[in-house]
Copies of this chain bind each other. A is one copy, B any other.
């Protein structure tokens, strides 16, 4: 089988089209893919590189080709240097993979709409879709997955499609699977529901879980399984970088917090007291700290507490998951899967489809999904046999 995988890999190149392609997460994903491919780093944090995903026909990291949309114009190599200065990327890495960064940079097209842009939704969607199609044609790609890693946008006010939904519509129009790694609306817009359903494309999301919610998705089930009564669950997130600033907007934070609290309600079977704050602390740069405080009752009403403090680098947590998702969704598309990919709930705060909410159950669903891919012929190989 390894031979045919190798054949597939050598022939098939898969596009990863990133919305927010000049952001920290996108830059780290591009840089990390190159670093791992070159053998400079182990694939720590990439679930698809662990044994349960062997022989599932996923596209090789070396076969991924990056491009995307962004409204900024800071070149990727420069962005990577800034990330290295902030300790997100290893020093020396940007220089070592300068060619790959430059290549991805050439694949980035202007996003929108920016203030003053007079183009209507239809024109924007068409422009974006054309960009994606050009990219695929130019590189001779078998397929392209569109992944939204842009800053969280404010909750849509209902009047028309928000930008994330314009990009999602463009993905469908270009015939591309779609992954929403952010809490932004994306495909979750009433105006896109029918389109998504009729497109025959697989899609996944929403809002990658990389820290506090990841913890909650294992701690919530623990309390529930032990029949301990959670009375209050309070949390504070401190984060700098662009994300901190974006989420300092209460409207944007509302979208994010809804996901965080949903995990608690779903795993505990009740909504505890307590709030979740997101603070913009520019001094933290790309690092974030999440503090959680849980008040629970034990036997006979005895009051107890659990506190957790998670200190992580958001981009380094998100980027390997973005690569995982691009590979899994590309392979799902190849395998003919359509609609919401509930098997990928492991990655999200607010998963599409009918999915369990505890991380353990989500992991089982994910390995089941991998098993399903393993037993599904690769389209490429099947076609090759004709």
Q: Which positions in A face B, CB cutoff 8 Å?
A: 28, 31-32, 35, 41-47, 49-50, 84-85, 87-91, 93, 214-215, 218-219, 221-222, 225-229, 231-232, 234, 236, 238, 272-275, 277, 279, 281-284, 289, 291, 293, 295, 297-302, 304-313, 316-317, 319-320, 346, 358-361, 363
Contacts and interface: CB of A to CB of B under 8 A. Distances in A.
A312 B293 contact: no
Nearest to A288: B304
A227 B298 contact: no
B295 A283 contact: yes
B226 A215 contact: no
A293 B238 contact: yes
Nearest to A295: B283
Contact of A308 (B85, B231, B275, B307): B307
Contacts of A273: 281-283
A87 B227 contact: no
Contacts of A231: 283
A238 B305 CA distance: 13
Nearest to A346: B225
B298 A46 contact: no
B226 A45 contact: yes
B305 A311 contact: yes
Contacts of A306: 215, 308-311
A44 B301 contact: yes
A42 B297 CA distance: 11
A154 B163 CA distance: 40
Contacts of A238: 232, 234, 274, 293
Contacts of A283: 231-232, 272-273, 295
Contact of A360 (B221, B275, B295, B346): B221
B298 A316 contact: yes
A363 B302 contact: no
A306 B212 CA distance: 10
A311 B304 contact: yes
A42 to B, nearest CB: 8
A194 to B, nearest CB: 35
B289 A302 contact: no
A90 B86 CA distance: 11
B28 A299 contact: yes
